[in-house]
Each structure stands twice: as C-alpha cells, then as structure tokens.
Amino acid sequence: MNGWDWIKGASSSSMSSMPSMARSRTSSHITDRQPSSRTVRLGRIQPQAPGHRTIYCNDREANLPVRFKFRRVANLYFLMISILSTTPISPVHPITNVVPLSLVLFVSLVKEAFEDWKRLNNDKVINSSPVDVLVEQKWVSIPWRKLQVGDIVRVKQDGFFPADLLFLASTNPDGVCYIETANLDGETNLKIRKALERTWDYVLPERAAEFKGEIQCEQPNNSLYTFTGNLIMEKQTLPLTPNQGCSLRNTEYIVGAVIFTGHETKVEYIFSDKTGTLTRNLMEFFKCSIGGEMYGMGVTEIERGAAQRSGHQVDEVKRSPTAVHEKGFNFDDPRLMRGAWRNEQDPEICKEFFRCLAICHTVLPEGDESPEKIMYQAASPDEAALVIAAKHFGFFFYKRTPTMVMVRESHVEKMGKIQDVSYEILNVLEFNSTRKRQSVVCRYPSGRLVLYCKGADTVIYERLSDGNGNMKKVTREHLEQFGSAGLRTLCLAYKDLDVEYYGAWNEKFIQAKSALREREKKLDEVAEMIENELVLLGCTAIEDKLQEGVPACIETLSRAGIKIWVLTGDKMETAINIAYACSLINNDMKRFVISSETDEIRDIEDRGDAVETARAIKDLVKQELKRCTGEAERSLHMTPAPKLALVIDGKCLMYALDPQLRGSLLRLSLNCSSVVCCRVSPLQKAQVTSLVKNGARKITLSIGDGANDVSMIQAAHVGVGISGLEGMQAVMASDFAIAQFRFLTDLLLVHGRWSYIRICKVVTYFFYKNLTFTLTQFWFTFRTGFSGQRFYDDWFQSLYNVIFTALPVIMVGLFDKENIFFVIYVLMSTFYFYLTLLLVPVVALFGDFLYIGLQRWFAPYDYQIIQEMHRRDPQESTRTELQEIGRRLTPDEERSYAIAQLPRETSRHTGFAFDSPGYESFFALQAGVYVPQKAWDVARRASMSGPQPRTQKI
C-alpha cells in the first residue's frame, strides 16, 4: 500500500441532499458522465487542460462548487389526456381529467415534501458539524456545509470524514491511521491507511500550509471501491491507491486535502449464495495439510449428515489435552500443538507454512500485545481464522506498521525459545474475485526475499513449479476430502526471490500502480510475472456451519414448487456436501455433474496450451449438455418421474453460457429441481440469473449477503439481502432485507401469499368497478342516438375513482390478514378505535357546519336560503288536503294552482330562475292574477333591466 492513500468520507447521512455533504460516490443526481480525469493543483494556479479539472488548495474563491441539474418525467400520459380535454373535440370538461391528476400529484407532492423536510432537518444537523480547516497557518473550525474542494482539513479521533480526502499526515508513527467504513458498507473491521514519508511532517499547520503539488485523478463517479490518480511533487509522480474510509479510529488526528465534496463524492426460481447466506459465516480453522500430511481430528456437521444418510454412525472423537477451541480456531492434533511440529518429518516446511499464515494477510491487531487479549480486525472471517491459527501454532502476529509485520515466533530454533522477528513488507498483491489469490513480498532480517501466496487451489496449482508431483497429488486428494466434509480450502505456496529479479519486477509494478487508465488490469498483468514457479506448502480447511433452520426452509420451499439454485465460489465437493446437508440434494435425486476436473482435461492443462485446453473444455461441455439433456427428458417420462439435480463448475459454466450452448444449458436446468454452480465469479452469478429471467421468462429471486452477490441480486426480479458479517452492500442493493435465510419462508409463503390474495382482490375490484362505470355510459348512448352526450356529471366522473370508490380499497388494506376476526379483536382492543368512532361524526358535523356557514357568508341571497327562511310560513292548505281526490278546489287553491302554472323567468342580473315562493306576487301580476305583494318583490324589480311590455286590456 505504498503511495498516497485516498480516504472516502461519509456520515450516517451520506445520502443527504446538501451540496457540501460527502456522499460516498453514490450520488444519483449526476446525470452525465464527466471526463475521465481531472487535475488538482495544490498551492498555485495553472490553466486547465482538456479533460481535466483543476482544484486549488487554500484558494476558496477559485474552487467554486460545481452544480448539477437533474430532471424527472412522470405522468405524461395523464398530462396529455388533460391537454386533449381542453380541445373542442373532447366530449368531457377539462376538469374531469385535471382534478384526478392534480389530486394524485398533490398527494405525492405532500408526501415527498414531508420526506424532504425531515431530510432537510437531518442535513442541517449533519452539515453543521464542525471541522478544522487550515486558514492562514492556523486551524479554524467551520461547519461542513462551508467546506470546499482544495481545503486542508484536520479530522480528530472518532470523527467522521466530511468529504473525500487525500491523506497527508497523521499523529501516529510512520504516517498511518486506522479507519472504520461502517457507514459506507457496514463493515466494522478497522482498515489501515498511510501516507508517503515525504508528507509525514505536515501535521502542524505551519508545515501543512507549505504543501504544494499537482493531483491528476479521475472525475467524480459512482464507483465506491475504485480510484485512479497520481500526485506530482517536484517533478516526481507518486501513485494514489484506492482506499476508502468513514470515521477515524485509534488516531489522535490526521491532515488531509479535500478532493471531492457534495454531489461529486462516490418467487418461481431462487438463486442463493452459500457462504453467509446458507452458512453462518463464522469461520473456524479445523484441519490442514502440510507437506502431504493431513492434520486435524475433528468431525464436521456435513460428515455427520452424510453418515446418517448412508446409515452409518460417526463416533465422537475425544479431544486431546492440547486441543484449543476459541472463536476462529477449533483444531485438535497434538502433532502440531505446543511446538510438537518440530518432531515432524519435515519441520522446515511446517515453519514456512506457519510463517505464510502469519505474514500473508492484511489483518490489523488491536488491544494488548498478548495472545490472550489481542483482537484481530480482518476484511473477512477466513483471514482472521488463519492468523489465529498461526498464533496457536507458535507464530504470534502482534503488530503492524505500513512497512513492517512483527511476529513473535516460538520453538523455531529450539523448544521453548521465543523471539520477536520483524518482516519488511515490500509489496502486497491484494485478493480479488478475479485473481482468487493474495501475495506478499517480504524481506527477512537476514535479507532473504520471499513471496508468500495463498488462494484457491485451481489458481495456485496453475502456478506451481515442476517437480514434487507426489506431494501435489496427495495434497489434491486431501483437498477433495476436505471439500467432501464441507470445509473451505485454501492452498499455500512460496517462492524465494533473487534481488536483481525483484528489482526489475518492482519497477514494472510501480509503473503499473501509477497508471491512470486500466490500472487494475496492468497490476494483474505484473502480478502474473512474479506469481509463478511457486513451491506448494499445503492447504488449510476452515469450517463454516450452516445457519439455523436452513434445511427445513429449503425443504418447505421445494414442496411449494419453488426451484432453488446455489451459486457459490467454493469447490465442487464442498458445494455438493453443503447441498446435501441443507436438503437441496438428496439420495433420491438423479444427479448430473458437469466438471472440468477430469483426467483428460488435467493432462491437457499440464501441457500448457491454453487454446487446446479451451477447445477441450468446450467440447466436453457440449457433449455433457447433450447427454444430460437426453437423460433428463427420458427421466421425465418415467413413472414416477425422479427429481433431477445439476452440478456444474465455473470453467464449464463459462463455455455453457456461450450463445451457442446457453439454450441447451437452459433446457437442462429448467428440468432440474436443484442446480448447484461451483467456482463461479460474481459476473457468472448475474449471467445465470439473467439466463433464467430472460430466457425462460420466469420470476426470479436472488439472495445473498456480500458485495460479490450484488450483481446477482440486481439481475433478478426480486432481490433479498442478508445483513450478515460481510457488510451491508447486498442489503443496500436489494428490495428486501432479512437477518437469516430461514426467514425467506415467511417472506415468500406468508407475506407473499397475503400479497397475492391482496392483489387478486384489488385487481378484480378495479376491473368490475370500471366495467360498471363504462357499461352504464355505453348503454346510455343507445338512448341518446350516439350523440356523444354523457351520462355522468363532470365532478362525479372526476371523483369516481379518486374518492367515491376508494373505501373498499382501504378496507382491503385494513383487513389484510386472513383472520378478520382477529383483526377486529385487535382493533377493538385499542383506544384509537373508540376515539375514531367518536371523532368521525364530530368531524362530519363540523365539516357540514363549516360548509353551510361559508355558503351563507359568500352567497347570502341564494334562493335556498330564502326557502329556508320561509319554510315555517303558515300555509292556507295542507298537503293532505291537496292530495284528496274528488274534492273541489277553493278560490285560494285555484289561485295557487294558477301561480304554479306561470312561466319561469331568468334574472338578467344573476342568471338564476325566479322559481322561489318569494317572487310569486310579481309573476301573478304579469299574468293578470291578483296576489298580495310582499316586501321582497323589490329585489325582483331591481334585478330587471330594460322596459317591460305592458298588458293591454281587450
């Protein structure tokens, strides 16, 4: 990890909308891809070059924040319909379409405004956090929101990083610091970061103000785990390595330069990962093979399950007095414990094996430097288990600096002697999913240069030197036995390096590490040059036990007709035994195995011809797919038809996913109840998921717990993340999050069934509701001669779906569970239920009171009010008397009847018809009928304009 380290900053509110907030390069508001690189000029101004951006240190005016725009397009269909309703060709009033659209948008606006308001309050708190910024050779505290690119900042212990920082100096010796990235990816393991020796003294503000340099780096992007950049100081180019952080630990304070701020910063088929998803991801060192000799006497859960299936009984092995069991270590073999390895046939290879465990890693020690109290912070549980194993074998790793690893070795020179040895770490070739190995180049105190390497057996065996074939063969047999027991295996190897050879290689390594483009690819190519001609030391076997309830969960899902596929990077034997242990495969199934681990393929691989090897594997896959597909189709016609299971490894899967063969793979896979894919990469996981999703048109679900499962989770229709020990990346990329695999049963079979029933009810309701609404209008057109006249009022049509028919949907949501009586019981047992019963009529009456009050206030002369005022006036005849048949009318009744027959006029002033009883005297006068005048006739005369025609007497 030589060179400047780049620390990514974030806080618990890293997704905030404030522009000065560090956002871990996950901002979704950057709509356009920026140029590939930019230049950060520290201390002086330089014109910008094309494709670069310049940031000036200690010049706040020159570093104006970059603003971005974003757009949202929604509800275009309803908007177009609303626009068309305003044209003359529309049979409906515009309000019919505008009101529902406006109501939906208003509700969405209120909801988003409320969420933005809460986020704004949280952002105000976060962005008001203080940070020390260098101003005129002294530290000045300012809030985060005022931070700008190019500022030199000081972050204290346990403080959060306010932006993406370039690590300059630290109060710790050798310019190192420890960071925690929990707010980025959920990992609580501490990670070490360091600066170059040339900047270690930039701790004090006087020295930090003298810092000058030019940084060439990539533009802001959404990649959280990659960064490419170089620092140029005094015409010397220094590489910036991709490191990320969130909060500072175990360090008084650090000094850094701000690089990025604000928006610039970084159910039919189930596809499941194995480690951490089906298993607990609690690794324990269980067995090992050193120099062709197997060590370890324990029995795994997988071995017990296999013995029970075959009808055998496994006797419990009594633990020896030297057995040790702590977290990460469950090993029992007196031949290796307490220095007994010195009495083995080849103690030198045992010593190299243990040193490889103690040196080849990136683990950080914490706490007291004693074997009993020390704690290890590792990137994965596997790595921690290996370091713990080295401690119990007498090689105690207790301290690390950026360039040194300190190991307390016991029984090396003679029994009982303990000595502290410092190994200088020259290069670290880190592990990734493509390389599947990790290497460390170290220098002994004596000057000896050694490369230690550990990784998957497939990649290690490809890089071993010729000779010692018997040990390779025996170790491979041990690997298969460990895999059959469900153990995770790693191979260990080493190589002595010549000083001149290493010097030439190191120059190429530095050049590759300084590359701005395709740095990872070039580093892998350089690593291939030195990771060859290795000497095999042996292999380790780590147990990862199954999670509670996994077999029962898989069995239940299988009985429900759901097919489960396991996509894992483990060995085939390990994956098969895990599949047996969790009831994914049983002895009643017909099993198809497509593997590249055959004698024919191994012989071709030993020749070293990559083209011939690829052709042989492709031909093998083609033949096996054809054979297995034929057998599967014949098996389906048998009575009873047996269940089928397919097991395929990563090499064969790579060729099976070829466009020419993927159809055959899909047909075979769809006929199988279970599929296990071994030794697969994250990309292959996503390809398999997409094959079923797009090729078979089936609903798919992917479940995983680590970063290597993100592509698989995102490729499926439904993604489920498990919040385990490998961080929160799978959870953040998923649709649902659960704690253990067994909860998938409730998610699919309980909540899934409720959702299915709920959707069916709602779909049926909406179908018949709209059918009733439409058919009424359809039959009405026959009565109107297809004139286009509408049956419904505009307001009724607008509010039909929005309000009038919304109550059934609410009731379906309220009584979602099948046990309605239980829901009613729960509702009636709450205080809010009775409070609601009381408030509903009160609110309704209060609303009616407000409506009437407003109506009378703004329209006091409305005819309805006049009717209400004279509703209690005495009448000369009652309704009963009017309804009597055959009775002769009185003169008053005849006059009332005549008044009722008068024509209805319309006021020129108000536009309303004068049909209320208050104006009957005026109408009677116009018709020649005498009626006593009343006071309110004045309102009628005042509303009329123009001369009225006179009645002429004949």
pLDDT at 931: 56
Q: How confident is the model at residue 383 (pLDDT cuts 50, 70, 90)?
A: confident
- pLDDT tens digits, 640-654: 888 889 999 888 888
Token couple for 652: 């064969």
CA angle at residue 536 from 390 to 543, to 5 degrees? 45
Distance between CA atoms of 722 and 728, rounded to whole angstroms? 8
More confident residue, 711 or 725: 711
Average pLDDT over residues 48-52: 43
Q: Tell me if residue 915 falls in helix, strand or coil.
A: coil
User: Where does residue 285 rank: exposed (0-12), middle (13-18), buried (19+ CB within 10 A)?
Assistant: buried
pLDDT in the model for residue 952 = 44
- Whether residue 395 has pLDDT greater than 80: yes
In terms of pLDDT, which residue wins out, 744 or 873? 744
Six token digits for residue 915: 């049909």
CB 407 within 8 A of CB 397: yes
Contacts (Cβ under 8 Å, ≥6 apart) of 820: none
Q: Are the C-beta atoms of residues 299 and 316 closer than 8 Å to each other?
A: yes
Task: Flag the least confident range among 24-38, 71-85, 281-295, 727-741.
Answer: 24-38
Identify the bridge partners of residue 405 per DSSP, sorted by sequence position. Answer: 400, 423
As a dihedral over the C-alpha atoms of residue 441, residue 443, residue 444, residue 448, rounded to 10 degrees, the angle is 90
Closest CA to 877 of 910, 904, 899: 899
Token pair 């077999």 is at which residue? 551
**Count of positions (residues) in the chain:** 954
Q: What is the pLDDT of residue 421?
A: 93
What pLDDT shows up at residue 869?
64
- DSSP code, position 87: S
Give the per-residue pLDDT at 496: 94
| 226-240, 502-516, 733-747: least confident range | 226-240
Residue 769 or 42, more confident:
769
Tens-place pLDDT, residues 793-808: 777 777 787 777 878 8
pLDDT at residue 356 above 80? yes
Average pLDDT, the chain: 76
> Which of 499, 477, 514 shows the shortest CA–CA distance to 426?
499
Collapsing DSSP states into helix, strand and coil, what is residue 56? strand
Tokens encoding 82: 């609303």
Tokens of 186: 């959920």
Q: Are 240 and 227 in contact (CB under 8 A)?
A: yes
> Does the structure show a pLDDT above 50 at 68?
no
pLDDT of 255: 78
Cβ atoms within 10 A of the Cβ of 588, count? Answer: 7
- How far is CA 652 from each of CA 435, 595, 616, rounded to the nearest angstrom? 18, 6, 10
Given pLDDT bands bounded at 50, 70 and 90, which one contains residue 263?
Answer: low
User: d(Cα 597, Cα 442) in Å, to the nearest integer?
Assistant: 34
> What is the mean predicted confidence (pLDDT) over 829-842?
84
Mean pLDDT confidence for 147-156? 84
Per-residue model confidence (pLDDT) at position 612 = 86
Residue pair 484/198 in contact (Cβ under 8 Å)? The answer is: no
CB-CB contact of 915 with 922 (8 Å): no
Number of Cβ atoms within 10 Å of the Cβ of 769: 16
Chain centroid to CA 901: how far?
77
Alpha-carbon Rg for the chain, nearest whole angstrom, is 40
- Look at residue 269 in the predicted model and tell me its pLDDT: 82
Annotate 836-894 with DSSP letters as a single string.
HHHHHHHHHHHHHHHHHHHHHHH-TT-HHHHHHHTTTS--SS-HHHHH-SSPPPPHHHH
Is the pLDDT reported for residue 525 higher than 80? yes
- In a 13 Å sphere around the CA of 292, the CA atoms on its Cβ side amount to 10
Instruction: Say what percent of the chain tops pLDDT 70.
Output: 76
The pLDDT-based confidence of 862 (bands split at 50, 70, 90) is: low
Q: Which residues pair with 490 in a beta bridge?
A: 540
Q: What is the mean pLDDT of residues 384-389?
A: 93
Say which range, 114-123, 290-299, 729-738, 852-861, has the weakest mean pLDDT: 852-861
For 748, the 3-state DSSP assignment is helix
Residue 223 pLDDT: 54
Highest mean pLDDT among 32-41, 424-433, 892-901: 424-433
896 C-beta neighbours (distance < 10 Å), count: 17
**Least confidently predicted of 348-362, 477-491, 729-743, 903-917:** 903-917
Give the separation between CA 566 and CA 583, rounded to whole angstroms.
Answer: 12
The model scores a pTM over 0.85:
no
Residue 950 has pLDDT above 80, yes or no: no
* CA dihedral for 744, 749, 750, 755, sign (positive or negative): positive
Q: Whole-angstrom Cα distance, residue 712 to residue 709?
A: 5
The answer to whether residues 194 and 5 touch, using CB atoms and an 8 Å cutoff, is yes
Q: Is 439 helix (H, G, I), strand (E, B) or coil?
A: strand
Q: How far is it, in rounded angstroms, from Cα 885 to Cα 795?
A: 42
Is the model's pLDDT at 252 over the cut of 50?
A: yes
Q: Is the pLDDT of residue 914 over 50?
A: no
**Which range, of 347-361, 454-468, 566-580, averages the lowest pLDDT?**
566-580
Average pLDDT over residues 383-397: 93
Residue type at 103 in one-letter notation: L
Sequence-distant (6+) residues with CB within 8 A of 477 are none
Residue 863 CB coordination number (10 Å): 17
Query: Is residue 145 a contact partner of residue 128, using CB atoms and an 8 Å limit?
Result: yes
Name the residue with higher pLDDT: 60 or 538: 538
Q: What is the pLDDT of residue 295?
A: 94
Mean pLDDT across 567-586: 78
Residue 694 is encoded by which pair of tokens? 């797009």
Note the pLDDT tens digit of each residue in 665-684.
999 988 888 899 988 888 88
User: Which tokens is 249 given?
Assistant: 């630990």
pLDDT at 607 over 50: yes
Q: Crossing angle for the helix pair 807-814 and 751-783, nearest 10 degrees? A: 170
DSSP collapsed to 3 states, 154-169: EEECCCECCCEEEEEE
List the structure tokens of 527: 């690593």
| 881-894: pLDDT as tens digits | 545 544 566 777 77
Lowest-confidence segment of 88-97, 768-777, 913-922 by average pLDDT: 913-922
What value does the mean pLDDT take over residues 685-707?
87
Catalytic (active-site) positions: 273
What share of the chain in percent tops pLDDT 90? 14
Q: Which pLDDT value is given to residue 10?
A: 36
Neighbouring CB atoms inside 10 A of 803's CB total 11
State yes or no: pLDDT of 693 exceeds 50. yes
Tokens of 274: 């194995």
Report d(CA 160, CA 177) in Å as an integer: 13
Sign of the CA dihedral 867, 873, 876, 877? positive
Q: Give dist(CA 261, CA 14) in Å, integer.
A: 11
Nearest residue to 257 (alpha-carbon basis) of 151, 376, 364, 355 = 151
DSSP string computed for 228-254? -EEEEETTEEEEEEE---SEEES-SEE
pLDDT-based confidence at 927, cuts 50/70/90? low
Q: What is the pLDDT of residue 433?
A: 64
What mean pLDDT is predicted for residues 208-229?
Answer: 69
365 — phi, psi (to 5°)? -85, 150
- The DSSP code sequence of 682-693 is HHHHHHHHHIII
Note the Cα 584 to chain centre separation in Å: 27
Dihedral-angle region of residue 828 (phi above 0 means left; psi in -120 to 50 means alpha; beta otherwise): alpha
Under DSSP, the state recorded for 917 is G
What pLDDT does 866 receive?
Answer: 64
3-state helix vs strand vs coil in the chain, percent to 5 = 40, 20, 35
Residue 218 corresponds to which tokens in the numbers above? Answer: 């990539």
| Per-residue pLDDT tens over the stretch 616-627 | 888 999 999 999
Among 169-183, 291-305, 451-465, where is mean pLDDT lowest?
Answer: 169-183
Q: Residue 858 is encoded by which pair of tokens?
A: 């703004």
Note the pLDDT of residue 266. Answer: 43
Q: Which of 37-46, 178-187, 199-208, 636-645 has the lowest mean pLDDT?
A: 37-46
Instruction: Cis check for the bond before 162: say yes or no (omega within 30 of 0).
Output: no
For residue 48, the SS3 value is: coil
Question: Exposed (0-12), middle (13-18) or buried (19+): which is 65, by Cβ within 10 Å?
Answer: middle
What six digits make up the tokens of 785? 């001669």
Rounded CA-CA distance 302/546 in Å is 9
How would residue 861 be classed by pLDDT, with cut points 50, 70 and 90? low
Show the tokens assigned to 623. Answer: 């033949």
DSSP letters along 530-542, please? HS-SBEEEEEEEE
Name the packing angle between helices 469-484 and 572-581 (round to 10°). 20
Q: What is the DSSP letter of 15?
A: T
Q: For residue 43, is pLDDT > 70?
A: no
Stretch 102-124: mean pLDDT:
81
Cα separation, 828 vs 838, in Å, equals 13
* Banded pLDDT at 11 (limits 50, 70, 90): very low
Q: In what order do the strands lie in the sheet with 269-272?
A: 590-594, 644-649, 674-678, 563-567, 269-272, 700-704, 718-722, 736-738
pLDDT at 310: 66
